[in-house]
Structure 1
């Protein structure tokens, strides 16, 4: 049976953990991995690209975050981005942007150009190397400008970077971030191509009823089979079936049915099924946590908490036969870095292409 997210979703912190050995990570389609330890977190996706994000300590009110990104494969470098907290614009706003001095253990390492629109700046290769070294040796990393100063927490960084190395098969190689060794770089696991999803065209909504009331009433018992009794509110009141069930046409033979299933303090979730246009309907549940549907794509966007500084996001694309998951990501920890979340930390990515229409 489907499970329902709690009112305070923890998925925005990427809190799930998958322990992988090198042999498991060597599979043709590696599973995603997420790992959180203290003030750092890791998200590796199905292409084996890994992203590690660190934040200020929880007791520090001056929000800051760093994102380290490394693609899979031998001799791939780490790139680093800095984000100055902008959630509370009243405490500085654009004055926090501009040239921002970086120091490691009090040693000046030049400036990072922080964009006033995004509050993000890219570190140079030298700054990135110094940052990684400090994180793995309990060093102190700070940034400052006319808007204030910010200190990055190193708590949890070593464990997260080691997990990144392990997932990408770098442990014991010269390119490892934590446990370097003489093992050949060519032993590092290669990148895996993102799956390609061909999105099928769907008819434009006509505003007319796709299924008559009698058909909706007949469909209800089949939809209820996916839920325990009264756990999906939109399926509980047959008398209002025309209001509770929404139907969209996907193709001449297939329809999309949806209804609101649950609501929380700051989130809601709708269930979506693909059904046959005529009996037997044979409904197939896609998800029960969706928030929107448009032009062949189902989206699930959920806040990690009411402040809206952390989110989870998933998408499914209609390929003409079924809805295929195309994206799964979060925006990182709930640390008041930015409204809408600090980063995009995917654990599943794909390439979506539109199908060619007949005669096109």
Structure 2
């Protein structure tokens, strides 16, 4: 089960159906085209990542990051792939040469972890990406070919999100306008986490007496985009109940299972009928005070993941993080990068 196709629908539905739970923040963005992808978060920071063209080529990725606001520079990082057959031949550090259409465009010392691109190399790379030039990193006979297919569309989308099109700072379609009116940076939202008053569930008598009406209430809370078919059969959907405070409970049920992922539904409910359930997510992996976490492989090889977290603030669960680790291109175990759409400064519960 590819989770990338499921996550945007879940996130969008959660944000729309339960917008009262969320803070007013800049909406994040995810966009991909060919071998490039873009994630812009709720502070306005954008991260664009590009990869090799095919799964058979030597894995490589470049990450371009730019904060919102006037005069913000682009930074770049390079990561060589970790495939077992290649990693065994890579020394901890090696001298790489950037070659654009076969010509030397600068060098960088790299190895088994990501490395910052120096200004000369980054400038040459940014100039080459929108066109059709061949872009490769070489070390002796070894070669890592970076695809430029999709780069122009992604960089244009980054400019559009940050309102730089037509300004002197635009990467694509620059103009003569100043950057005075570009998207300003938004501060990272602060969320003060709260403790769950008690993890002791209601007693067995309560659970037995309320099981049927609680199942019914949970089913009724689902929107068109919320996926939890197991609730159609109360006998097949055992509920886990934990106490958040004297008046509210956290209820969970296994909503779905795939080849290498599972998704649990989580609801905040009143401790007495009619419960008034509020859905947090149907894709959770675990609940560990003070947060509910979703962490899903995007394919069985485990070279790419999607993750989300919702933090209890004493009143509701706030969607405090949402990210992908990048495309499934065998660049690194668990994924090449952290590409967030939602970031937060979560302060520990006192």
Structure 2 contact 91–111 (Cα < 8 Å) conserved: no
Q: 1:4 — aligned with what?
A: none
Structure 2 contact 96–110 (Cα < 8 Å) conserved: no
Q: Given the alignment of the two structures, is residue 308 of structure 1 paired with residue 302 of structure 2, yes or no?
A: yes
CA distance in structure 2 between the aligned counterparts of 1:75 and 1:12, rounded to whole angstroms: 36
Structure 1 contact 196–353 (Cα < 8 Å) conserved: yes
* Pairing 1:218-229 to 2, within 5 Å after superposition: 218-227=213-222
Structure 1 contact 14–35 (Cα < 8 Å) conserved: no
Q: Per-residue CA shift, 1:206-245, capped at 9, x if unaligned? A: 58857532233442221222359xx74653554577xx21
Which ranges in structure 2 are unaligned for 5 or more consecutive residues?
Answer: 13-23
Which ranges in structure 1 are unaligned for 5 or more consecutive residues?
Answer: 1-6, 19-27
Larger deviation, residues 321-330 vs 212-221: 212-221
Structure 1 contact 289–300 (Cα < 8 Å) conserved: yes
TM-score with structure 1 length normalisation? 0.84
Q: Given the alignment of the two structures, is residue 251 of structure 1 paired with residue 251 of structure 2, yes or no?
A: no
- Equivalent of 2:176 in 182, 206, 209: 182
Q: 2:19 — aligned with what?
A: none
CA distance in structure 1 between the aligned counterparts of 2:46 and 2:222, rounded to whole angstroms: 36
Q: Per-residue CA shift, 1:248-299, capped at 9, x if unaligned? A: 1111221100010111111111110101123332211111111111012011
Q: How many residues align?
A: 333
CA distance in structure 1 between the aligned counterparts of 2:263 and 2:291, rounded to whole angstroms: 15
Q: 2:86 — aligned with what?
A: 91
CA distance in structure 1 between the aligned counterparts of 2:287 and 2:279, rounded to whole angstroms: 14
Structure 1 contact 13–334 (Cα < 8 Å) conserved: no
TM-score with structure 2 length normalisation? 0.86
Shift of 1:98: 1.0
Shift of 1:128: 1.0
Return closer, same or farther for 1:147/1:248 CA change in 2, 3 Å cut-off.
farther
Return closer, same or farther for 1:197/1:169 CA change in 2, 3 Å cut-off.
same
CA distance in structure 2 between the aligned counterparts of 1:325 and 1:15, rounded to whole angstroms: 15
Return closer, same or farther for 1:287/1:139 CA change in 2, 3 Å cut-off.
same
Return closer, same or farther for 1:236/1:59 CA change in 2, 3 Å cut-off.
closer
CA distance in structure 2 between the aligned counterparts of 1:54 and 1:11, rounded to whole angstroms: 19
